[in-house]
């Protein structure tokens, strides 16, 4: 006897959904739900209404499981979450500076010199070249690259604030002109003559610092400074990410091994809570304040 196919449709649907429910229900509590629907009597094929009700109940059960935090996840620290497909892109920006024009000495006989010497362009260009990249035009600042190197200029001998060294040479591109180089060097003070220093380093250890030119660069720089510390100097180390904490209480410069150990344990991860870190850094600075000394908070981000 032939049976119409549509007679098996509810049974087929019930079998498929029942199999899915059996798989999804692994590990789910077997306690009855107050809103559950009574199953049909034994031997009765499941109707489409019963199949739909079972599917709704399964979705609700799985939703409850998905929002239930695991013990490990509840105790884990919060970290920066990046969307799928996120890729960090270079965000360096440089100001476009026009070249200085040539002035006639008869019209503008006065030249000015900056007392503030910057040397960052040389280190920045070196970093880009070591990464196999050509530096952008705005990153190459000639005056900062020239000032990066020490020169054997004459020191002032008459009590002046700075000494002046001049040198005149023919211009290589125009034999009818001359180039005048003017070197200025301020009087040097020996490190031993400086007042005791109270230095508080506030370091950003959030997830954004987890890159080669981030926290690793800061750590290597701090270690270079450790070699310059004197016994009368004091150093503190405060970090901030999701929260802020003191890594190193005010410590004498003679305890260099202890300071390096504190620097080595710094790791990056988490969000950024800069405000609390600044407050904590000021507390450390006040705790180790040196009257008439060099009291500074240095922020590394």
Is 89 a domain residue?
Answer: no
Torsion of CA 22, 28, 33, 39, to 10 degrees: 20
* Residue 131 shares a structural domain with residue 156: yes
Is 79 a domain residue?
Answer: no
Domain range for 204: 191-300
* Residue 152 shares a structural domain with residue 181: yes
* Residue 203 shares a structural domain with residue 280: yes
Is 18 a domain residue?
Answer: yes
Q: Who contacts 152 (Cβ-Cβ below 8 Å, separation ≥6)? A: none
Is 51 a domain residue?
Answer: yes
> Can you name the residues that pair with 252 across neighbouring β-strands?
234
Is 180 a domain residue?
Answer: yes
* Residue 218 shares a structural domain with residue 233: yes
> How many domains is the chain partitioned into structurally?
3
Is 54 a domain residue?
Answer: yes
Residue where a domain stops, chosen among 137, 171, 186: 186
Q: Who contacts 55 (Cβ-Cβ below 8 Å, separation ≥6)? A: 17, 21
* Residue 195 shares a structural domain with residue 286: yes
CATH number of residue 229's parent domain: 3.40.50.410
* Residue 172 shares a structural domain with residue 235: no
In order along its 301 residues, the chain shows pLDDT tens digits of: 444 444 444 444 444 334 333 333 444 444 444 444 444 444 444 444 444 555 455 454 444 444 444 444 334 444 445 556 656 566 788 888 888 888 888 898 887 777 677 888 998 899 889 989 999 988 998 888 988 988 888 787 777 778 888 999 999 999 888 898 888 887 776 666 889 999 999 999 988 888 877 888 889 889 988 888 999 999 999 999 888 889 999 999 999 999 999 999 988 888 877 788 899 999 999 999 999 999 999 988 8
* Residue 180 shares a structural domain with residue 195: no
Is 91 a domain residue?
Answer: no
């Amino acid at each position: 006897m032939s049976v119409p196919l549509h007679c098996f449709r509810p049974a087929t649907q019930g079998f498929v959904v029942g199999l899915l429910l059996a798989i999804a229900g692994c590990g789910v509590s077997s306690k009855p739900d107050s809103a559950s629907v009574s199953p049909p009597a034994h031997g009765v094929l499941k109707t489409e209404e019963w199949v739909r009700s079972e599917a709704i109940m399964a979705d609700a059960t799985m939703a409850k499981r998905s929002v239930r935090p695991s013990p490990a996840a509840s105790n884990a620290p919060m970290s920066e979450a990046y969307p799928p497909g996120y890729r960090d892109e270079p965000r360096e920006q440089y100001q476009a500076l026009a070249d200085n024009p040539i002035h006639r000495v008869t019209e503008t006989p006065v030249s000015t010199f900056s007392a503030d010497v910057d040397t960052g362009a040389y280190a920045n260009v070196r970093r880009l070249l070591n990464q196999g990249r050509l530096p952008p035009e705005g990153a190459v600042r000639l005056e900062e690259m020239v000032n990066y190197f020490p020169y054997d200029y004459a020191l002032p001998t008459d009590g002046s604030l700075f000494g002046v060294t001049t040198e005149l040479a023919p211009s290589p591109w125009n034999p009818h002109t001359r180039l005048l180089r003017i070197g200025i060097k301020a009087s040097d003070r020996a490190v031993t003559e400086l007042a005791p220093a109270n230095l508080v380093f506030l370091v950003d250890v959030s997830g954004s610092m987890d890159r080669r030119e981030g926290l690793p660069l800061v750590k290597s720089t701090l270690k270079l400074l450790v070699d310059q510390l004197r016994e009368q100097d004091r150093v503190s180390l405060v970090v901030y990410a999701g929260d802020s904490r003191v890594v190193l209480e005010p410590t004498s410069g003679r305890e260099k091994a202890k300071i390096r150990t504190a620097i080595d344990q710094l790791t990056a991860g988490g969000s950024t809570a800069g405000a609390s870190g600044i407050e904590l850094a000021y507390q450390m600075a006040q705790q180790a304040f040196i009257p008439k000394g060099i009291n500074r908070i240095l922020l590394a981000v």
